Amino acid sequence: MPFSLMDIAVRRYGHRGSLWITRFRFITLGGMKVAAVQLTSTGNITENQEIALTKIREAAGNGARLIVLPEATSQNFRSGRLDEQAQSLEGPFATAIQALAEELEVTVVAGMFCPADTVERDGKTINRVSNTALIAGPGVLGGYDKIHTYDAFDYHESDTVLAGESLVAFDVDDLVVGAATCYDIRFPEQFKELASQGAQLIVVPTSWADGPGKLEQWRLLTAARALDSTSYIVAAGQSRPGGDAEAGNPSGPTGIGHSTIVDPNGVRVAEAGYEDDILYAEIDPNEVAKTRRTLPVVTPAD
């Protein structure tokens, strides 16, 4: 059945200015099995589109209703200028994923880059992009633009990426799902605010750079955000270039692998290694409700 889409400004969120919650309404049939797809995107958006479509078909064939792919699925960060292959949500990459999601009657979240604005810096003209988590389902194209740009560890994402200003949540079956991307996971207030607006699960498409201590940080942060928000975390990341042989060495802003699904008590129920993989888990809204009764750290919005 077709989904309906509602853009609703629900409440201001007082971090990094006045941000707005946007809600996408999905009505679906069936259970609530989720998949976190770990893959290696290339520098070619057409090639990555085919990789994504293949993975989505596989996950849907295994019963997943919500399928989460990594940040930068459309083009990896090490492959040159992002603006040269950036596309709008009406472009071929997003519409191909939306068409398959409609065919399979699933909801898909996948990282891509959309044209944003043009700025002048140091005498240079820079065409910035939005780091967008595409949200696609039957009859629906939407997205969440990453709020916290990765300006850390000697990398400056904000040089080429325009920060988003709106939180996004959407409903799949009877579950409210919030959206975040990669570096957002270091900011607990975003996750707590999504939970206060009703999110029971938060998706985190990621391209987490490797380096000394980065895997330990990733594991700690995903568990901490689940506990902060008493929500499920479904974090899908890019695979590690070089696999185990390169583990722990700086990778640039690409991947460390170790996609994960964490329950509302901070327990890791599934975790990938360094290579391509798909994780699955059954999401139980009753577990969220139970956790929030016994650990009432989230204050519901009025």
Residue 98 lies in a domain: yes
Residue 1 lies in a domain: no
In angstroms, rounded to a whole number, what is the distance separating the alpha carbons of residues 111 and 298? 28
Residue 208 lies in a domain: yes
Residue 299 lies in a domain: no
Contacts of 74 (CB under 8 A, 6+ apart): 41, 45, 48, 49, 85, 87, 93, 110, 111, 112, 113
Is 71 a residue of the active site?
A: yes
pLDDT band, residue 261 (cuts 50/70/90): very high
Is 182 a residue of the active site?
A: yes
DSSP character at residue 197: T
Residue 186 lies in a domain: yes
Q: What is the pTM of this model?
A: 0.90
| pLDDT at position 3 over 70 | no
Catalytic residue among 33, 114, 157, 182: 182
Residue 5 lies in a domain: no
Catalytic residue among 33, 55, 71, 193: 71
pLDDT digits (tens, 9 = 90+) for 17-53: 334 455 454 433 334 999 999 999 999 999 999 999 9
Mean pLDDT of 151-177: 94
In terms of DSSP H, where are the helices of the chain? 45-61, 92-104, 188-196, 214-229, 285-294
Catalytic residue among 33, 55, 114, 146: 146
Residue 2 lies in a domain: no
Instruction: Give residue 18's pLDDT.
Output: 38
Instruction: Give residue 31's pLDDT.
Output: 45
Query: Is pLDDT larger for residue 179 or for residue 249?
Result: 179
- What CATH number does residue 243 fall under? 3.60.110.10
Residue 165 lies in a domain: yes
**Considering its fold, how many domains does the chain have in total?**
1
pLDDT band, residue 258 (cuts 50/70/90): very high
| pLDDT at position 203 over 70 | yes
In angstroms, rounded to a whole number, what is the distance separating the alpha carbons of residues 161 and 152? 14
> Kind of pairing, strands 12-14 and 140-145?
unpaired
Which of 23-32, 131-140, 226-235 shows the lowest per-residue confidence on average (mean pLDDT)? 23-32
Enclosing domain of residue 290: 12-294
